[in-house]
């Protein structure tokens, strides 16, 4: 293997035709964080800023086959999940990741972003999918990165104040992940955006500004994939979480309008401006 091989990260996620979220956001983030992106596509959505209009799920054997193919040949230094679409796909992903040595106590770092609904409120899988996520993937996770809606779906805890995030983190940690990162973006009345990392013993607050912009599509994907990039580059979970927070804060700060409603967070801030004569 060449000495100049970059770190690699695998996203196991759905495609967003609007390019704001999903695997498109993950690959953008991987690239701008210095990591080669690998992909296992789970679903193809028909969406824009007005909503998700249709979707087609990829057969579970094809999803698993993508994971197996890239892990066996190219190597995976860290992996993350996004939209997993169904219980059958989650089962296939869990089996393929276990076979590839992704996740678990001594495995390749595995970030589970428990995407359970689109930003427009459309559910992305049913009760069987939620149960499979809880029972199969969370125990394999190095880090789980839910927003507050996903906290409620996974634990039943409704977080409306910053101090309640600790109870949510404890409840999530009991489901099996090594670390829990509870994201506070939905606490819109809080003047700051303080996320919470919990390792089972220590709570670490990750403070950041709350930017005055409606354009936040893909923020959760960007944070989880930046965190994954940090792990692929050899950072500790604490270092990678801080890196992810730094990345997404800047991505939201530089977000832009695109389409009729909510625009995407930006990766352009990480790209050097062109020099012209």
Kindly give the confidence (pLDDT) of every residue in the chain, 277 residues in length, as a single tens digit, with 9 standing for 90 and above.
Answer: 457 999 999 999 999 999 999 999 999 999 999 999 999 999 999 999 998 899 999 999 999 999 999 999 999 999 999 999 899 999 999 999 999 999 999 899 999 999 876 665 556 777 899 999 999 999 999 999 999 989 998 999 999 999 999 999 999 999 999 999 999 987 888 889 999 999 999 999 999 999 999 999 999 999 999 999 999 999 999 999 999 999 999 999 999 999 999 999 999 999 978 877 6
Q: How far is CA 221 from CA 95, 129, 247, in A?
A: 23, 20, 11
Per-residue pLDDT, 121: 55
The answer to whether residues 45 and 16 touch, using CB atoms and an 8 Å cutoff, is: yes
Report the C-alpha gap between 95 and 86 in whole angstroms.
14
The answer to whether residues 34 and 7 touch, using CB atoms and an 8 Å cutoff, is: yes
**Please, which residues have CB within 8 angstroms of residue 146's CB and are 6 or more apart in sequence?**
113, 114, 154, 172, 180, 182, 183
Domain segments of the chain as ranges: 8-139+215-257
Report the C-alpha gap between 142 and 240 in whole angstroms.
12
Sort 186 into a burial class: Cβ within 10 Å, 0-12 / 13-18 / 19+: middle
Per-residue pLDDT, 118: 60
8-139+215-257 CATH: 3.40.1190.20
The SS3 of residue 17 is coil
Per-residue pLDDT, 1: 43
Tokens of 187: 């606490």
């Amino acid at each position: 293997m060449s000495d100049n091989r970059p770190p690699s990260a695998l996203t196991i996620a759905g495609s967003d035709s609007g390019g704001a979220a999903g695997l498109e956001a993950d690959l953008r983030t991987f690239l701008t964080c210095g990591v080669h992106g690998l992909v296992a596509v789970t679903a193809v959505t028909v969406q824009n800023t007005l909503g998700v209009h249709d979707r087609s799920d990829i057969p579970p054997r094809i999803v698993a086959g993508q994971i197996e193919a890239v892990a066996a040949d190219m190597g995976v230094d860290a992996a993350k999940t996004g939209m997993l679409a169904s219980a059958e796909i989650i089962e296939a992903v869990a089996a393929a990741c276990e076979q590839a040595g992704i996740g678990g106590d001594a495995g390749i770092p595995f970030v589970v972003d428990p995407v359970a609904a689109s930003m427009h409120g459309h559910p992305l899988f049913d009760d069987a999918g939620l149960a499979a996520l809880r029972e199969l993937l969370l125990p394999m996770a190095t880090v789980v990165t839910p927003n507050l809606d996903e906290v409620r779906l996974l634990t039943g805890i409704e977080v409306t104040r910053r101090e309640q995030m600790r109870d949510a983190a404890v409840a999530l940690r009991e489901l099996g992940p090594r670390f829990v990162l509870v994201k506070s973006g939905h606490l819109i009345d809080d003047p700051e955006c303080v996320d919470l990392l919990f390792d089972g013993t220590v709570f670490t607050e990750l403070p950041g500004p709350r930017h005055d912009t409606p354009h936040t599509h893909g923020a959760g994907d960007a944070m989880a994939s930046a965190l994954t990039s940090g792990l692929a580059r050899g950072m500790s979970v604490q270092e990678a979480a801080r890196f992810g927070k730094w990345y997404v804060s800047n991505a939201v700060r530089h977000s832009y309008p695109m389409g009729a409603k909510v625009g995407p967070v930006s990766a352009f801030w990480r790209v050097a401006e062109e020099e012209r004569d």
